[in-house]
Copies of this chain bind each other. A is one copy, B any other.
Amino acid sequence: MQRRSKDTISLAILQTTEALAEKYGIEKISMHQIAQTAGIGQGTMYRRFVNKGALCMELMHEKFHLLSEHVAQIVKQPNTVEEKLIAILEEHVHFLECHVSFIETIHDAATCEGKKQTFYESQPYQLLHQIIRRLLEEAITTKKIKPIQTDFTAHTWIASINPKIYLYLRKEKRYSEQDVVAYFIQSFINPLFIK
């Protein structure tokens, strides 16, 4: 059989996945199905993407990049730390709203046990975490908020709106995207900032 280049194969996989995900939803399709549809073997599939999470991660690469650019923009603006944090929150929640299934898939695949990279060590997560942490630190040094453990706080902030709970709040509890943002500000951001 004619051998294709690495890139050709990756591209074929990614395009096939995108098409199938569009049609059936990413959570409904299997690695096997993708491989078969793309006309490659199971082994080739897994050599390129260790699991569905990694595949989704690559599929989302573009979008993550866009998100991080937005966030970088926000940080550059001449606003208060509080305003920046709120803007990032809005951006983050909206991103979740648009791509829950994909993010959930990535989340699920990256188990803590297997030493394959955890979700928390992925570049997009680290980036978001770092930016929140830095803003919190800035808020502390400028006496806008009382000292807190910023690393911990950034992690738990992100965890508090993880894909699973977000879906529950949206679908079962019927909160809107805007509700989630507003309540988060009310409960987590406002109280920190001493008025």
Contacts and interface: CB of A to CB of B under 8 A. Distances in A.
Interface of A: 27, 108, 112-113, 118-121, 145-146, 148-149, 151-153, 155-157, 159-162, 164-165, 167-169, 171-173, 175, 179-180, 183-184, 186-188, 190-192
B118 A187 contact: no
A157 B191 CA distance: 14
Contacts of A175: 152
Given A120-B168, A156-B160, A160-B156, A148 B183 contact: yes
Nearest to A104: B112
9 contacts: A27-B113, A118-B168, A118-B172, A146-B190, A156-B160, A157-B160, A159-B162, A162-B162, A188-B188
B187 A156 contact: yes
A171 B120 CA distance: 12
A186 B27 contact: no
Nearest to A25: B113
